[in-house]
């Protein structure tokens, strides 16, 4: 490994350490308690070191979410699911839930914590305007729904509405399982499969 390679690796390791520390603060204490200085204190670096990797708090929070979405996209891209488009869709939805349950801290920081009314408007605009890995993940789900419609497995539906409805469903069960692990869910796998089957089968053609 060259000196240049070693420096690049060290830089990447520090960036990841910053993200991990920021996520821990975000999850445990909320958006308002997250600051560049607190992250620096947590990893025992100067605030200047944090600013070498992230422009400001907005950039840090955006990067936290993008990191989670990037992992999710890789999970979905690696999935085959077979030839049947409905089976592929269900497999993708199940992979989403499994991803959230395997990475609860990432999921909580990205999907379950409000940024509150004090969140900077610039951050909200960035999530709306910049092409993101989150929209890519949603687009992959939409493409699977569209494939079901094209194969005449689903009735005529609005693709965007149906996609968001499915995402709402799997987000709901993922969030509940993370938030209330001690609830007597019974057979968790059977529960997840039933939720997905019910949501997807509700889009099928009648008859």
pTM above 0.95, yes or no: no
pLDDT tier at 59 (50, 70, 90 boundaries)?
confident
- pLDDT for 113: 62
As a CATH number, domain 65-201 is 1.10.357.10
Burial per residue of 124-160, b for 16 or more beta-carbon CB atoms within 10 angstroms, e otherwise: eeebeeeebbbeebbebbbebbbbbbeeebbeeeeee
Q: Nearest to residue 106, comparing CAs of 172, 27, 50? A: 27
Class (C level, CATH) for 1-54: mainly alpha
pLDDT tier at 82 (50, 70, 90 boundaries)?
confident
Residues of the chain with CATH 1.10.357.10: 65-201
Residues of the chain with CATH 1.10.10.60: 1-54
Distance of CA 18 to the CA centre of its chain: 19
């Amino acid at each position: 490994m060259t000196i240049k390679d070693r420096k690049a690796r060290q830089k990447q390791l520090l960036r990841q350490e910053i993200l991990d520390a920021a996520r821990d603060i975000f999850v445990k204490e909320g958006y308002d308690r997250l600051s560049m200085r607190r992250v620096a204190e947590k990893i025992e670096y100067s605030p200047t070191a944090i600013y070498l990797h992230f422009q400001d708090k907005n950039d840090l929070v955006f990067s936290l979410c993008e990191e989670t979405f990037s992992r999710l996209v890789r999970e979905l891209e690696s999935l085959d699911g077979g030839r049947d488009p409905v089976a592929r869709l269900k497999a993708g939805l199940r992979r989403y839930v499994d991803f959230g349950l395997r990475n609860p801290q990432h999921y909580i920081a990205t999907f379950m914590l409000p940024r509150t009314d004090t969140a900077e408007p610039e951050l909200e605009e960035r999530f709306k305007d910049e092409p993101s890995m989150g929209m890519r993940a949603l687009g992959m789900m939409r493409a699977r729904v569209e494939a079901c419609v094209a194969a005449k497995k689903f009735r005529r539906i609005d693709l965007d509405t149906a996609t968001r409805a499915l995402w709402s469903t799997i987000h709901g069960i993922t969030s509940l399982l993370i938030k209330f692990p001690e609830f007597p869910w019974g057979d968790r796998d059977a529960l997840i499969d039933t939720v997905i089957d019910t949501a997807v089968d509700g889009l099928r053609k009648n008859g």
